[in-house]
């Protein structure tokens, strides 16, 4: 393949860039048992034709949104639904989230082996309206009841309202004790760091991550049979490994221990591969619940298939080129990473436009998109280079470069 596109450099001057072409990924088969459980936190596709005020209202293209989940399941990946990657609480409101969850549950029923878990939070309760811990508990219970009524499994998301009203670790323990005691089946807890959402600073009752970790581990130990695992998104592999080595060796969804689901979009390859350290298997490695697995889904699937076959070298060879891409997508301000995820979906033809809920396509610069384009090509993740180049030229033209 020989395809060249003119791209601006760091000095703004245009220069030729020759695309390398797509990678030869051999993805996992649908329903194939993998060596790691892997959820992709899936994005949503906005409806650009809806007559709404995008900053104030939310409208989705349901067909394209569900089609992308089917794409992920065909690659053998699970779907973590209505999470921050789907702009939950950042443009995607609770009523639309619940409809999304219901539609995904219905779609999953037609896919053998489809893995699906859905975000349960308190985002319908404005933090300013929360007067105490009981308000937070009621908000969690309302969403839990609605999702479980649909037959969904829960990912218990961090609560901005809880941060506002909690006076210390004991309030977090009280809330999670109540919620976990009621859960019908084991849930995934979600500790989202302040780099992803500044409103969650000091979660678990402390600004010190290690003290916060002690509180979270205490909650998990007290309810090990009701906790499948915990996803932490702190972008600090040392903290994740430290917590992983302290997870209960019994309990979880299969009785063989509570899992660590990495949310580290910087060091996921190393964390998923694992280090073999720890007296229990659940402490040897991390499973995955990652936003970047939306953008790199074919490579993630192929890498996990290689790991399952015992080919660790191939696993690392596939994922290594994706890490610079992921670090770029998730660079500070990290909360704008969703723009890069949707940009990748547009380049790869999973949606016909580059429009996002809440107008979030405007949160990154043209320079950012140009570098993302280069890194995606270097990782072999532009499935159809001609289409990707054509769409990149469209974006350049919108920015006055023709």
In sequence order, what DSSP letters do the residues of 61-89 get, joined into one string? -HHHHHHHHHHHHHTT-EEEESSGGGTBT
115: left (phi over 0), alpha (psi -120 to 50) or beta: beta
Structure tokens at 24: 């030869």
Domain membership of residue 65 (yes or no) is yes
Binned at pLDDT 50, 70 and 90, residue 12 comes out as confident
Could you read off the pLDDT of 126-164 as tens digits, one per residue?
Answer: 999 999 999 999 999 999 999 999 999 999 999 999 999
Percent share of the chain, pLDDT over 90: 96
CA pair distance 247, 261, nearest whole angstrom: 12
pLDDT score recorded for residue 402? 86
Domain-located, residue 246: yes
d(CA 269, CA 289): 12
**pLDDT score at 381:** 98
Residue 122: per-residue pLDDT: 98
Evaluate whether 157 touches 83 at the Cβ level (below 8 Å). yes
| pLDDT band of 29, cuts 50, 70, 90 | confident
What is the DSSP code (8-state) at residue 360? G
pLDDT value for 31: 79
Q: What is the pLDDT of residue 215?
A: 98
| pLDDT > 70? residue 1 | no
**CB of 379 within 8 A of CB of 296?**
yes
Q: If you compute the radius of gyration of the chain from its CA atoms, what whole number of angstroms results? A: 21
- The answer to the question of residue 4 being in a domain is no
Instruction: Report the mean per-residue pLDDT for the chain.
Output: 96
How many structural domains comprise the chain?
1
Tell me if 18 is assigned to some domain.
no
Q: What is the mean pLDDT of residues 100-118?
A: 97
Contact between 282 and 260 under an 8 Å Cβ cutoff? The reply is yes
**Residues 6 or more apart whose Cβ sits within 8 Å of residue 26:** 302, 305
Structure confidence at residue 120 as a pLDDT band (50, 70, 90): very high
Residue 232 belongs to a domain with what CATH number? 3.20.20.70
Q: What is the mean pLDDT of residues 53-72?
A: 96
Mean pLDDT over 380-393 rounds to 97
**Given this model, what pLDDT does residue 294 score?**
98
- Helices 312-319 and 297-308: angle between axes, nearest 10 degrees: 170
User: What is the span of the domain harbouring residue 262?
Assistant: 35-311
- 166 vs 9, higher pLDDT: 166
In a domain, residue 3? The reply is: no
**pLDDT tens, position by position, 351-375:** 999 999 999 999 999 999 999 999 9
Contact 247, 257 (CB under 8 A): yes
pLDDT at position 363 is 97
**Taking 90 as the threshold, does the pLDDT of residue 57 lie above it?**
yes
pLDDT of residue 11: 84
Question: Is a pLDDT exceeding 70 seen at residue 401?
Answer: yes
Is the pLDDT confidence value at 2 over 70? no
């Amino acid at each position: 393949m020989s395809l060249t596109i003119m791209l601006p450099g760091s000095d703004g001057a245009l220069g030729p860039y020759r695309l390398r072409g797509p990678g030869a990924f051999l993805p996992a088969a649908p329903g194939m048992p993998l060596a790691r459980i892997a959820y992709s936190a899936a994005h949503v596709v906005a409806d650009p034709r809806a007559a709404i005020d995008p900053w104030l209202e939310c409208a989705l293209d349901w067909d394209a949104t569900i089609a992308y989940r089917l794409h992920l399941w065909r690659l053998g990946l699970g779907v973590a639904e209505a999470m921050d990657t789907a702009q939950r609480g950042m443009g995607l409101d609770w009523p639309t989230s619940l409809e999304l969850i219901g539609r995904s549950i219905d779609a999953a029923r037609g896919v053998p082996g489809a893995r699906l878990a859905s975000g349960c939070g308190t985002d319908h309760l404005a933090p300013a309206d929360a007067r105490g811990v009981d308000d937070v508990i009621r908000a969690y219970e309302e969403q839990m009841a609605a999702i479980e009524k649909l037959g969904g499994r829960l990912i218990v998301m961090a609560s901005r309202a809880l941060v506002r009203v909690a006076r210390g670790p004991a309030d977090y323990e009280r809330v999670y004790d109540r919620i976990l005691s009621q859960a019908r089946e084991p849930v995934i807890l979600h500790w989202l760091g302040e780099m992803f959402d500044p409103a969650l600073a000091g979660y678990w009752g402390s600004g010190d991550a290690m003290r916060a970790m002690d509180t979270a581990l205490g909650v998990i130990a007290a309810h090990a049979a009701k906790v499948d695992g915990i996803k932490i998104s702190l972008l600090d592999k040392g903290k994740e490994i430290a917590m992983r080595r302290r997870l209960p060796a019994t309990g979880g969804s299969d009785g063989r221990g509570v899992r660590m689901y990495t949310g580290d979009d910087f060091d996921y390859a190393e964390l998923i591969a694992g280090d073999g350290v720890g007296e229990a298997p659940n402490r040897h490695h991390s499973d995955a619940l990652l936003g970047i697995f939306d953008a790199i889904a074919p490579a993630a699937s192929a890498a996990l298939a290689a790991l399952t076959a015992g080919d660790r070298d191939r696993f690392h060879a596939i994922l290594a080129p994706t890490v610079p891409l992921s670090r770029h997508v998730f660079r500070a301000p990290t909360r704008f990473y969703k723009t890069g995820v949707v940009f990748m979906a547009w380049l790869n033809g999973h949606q016909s436009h580059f429009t996002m809920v809440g107008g979030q396509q405007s949160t990154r610069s043209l320079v950012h998109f140009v570098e993302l384009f280069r890194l995606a090509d270097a990782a072999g993740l532009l499935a159809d280079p001609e289409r990707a180049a054509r769409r990149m030229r469209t974006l350049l033209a919108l920015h006055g470069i023709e």
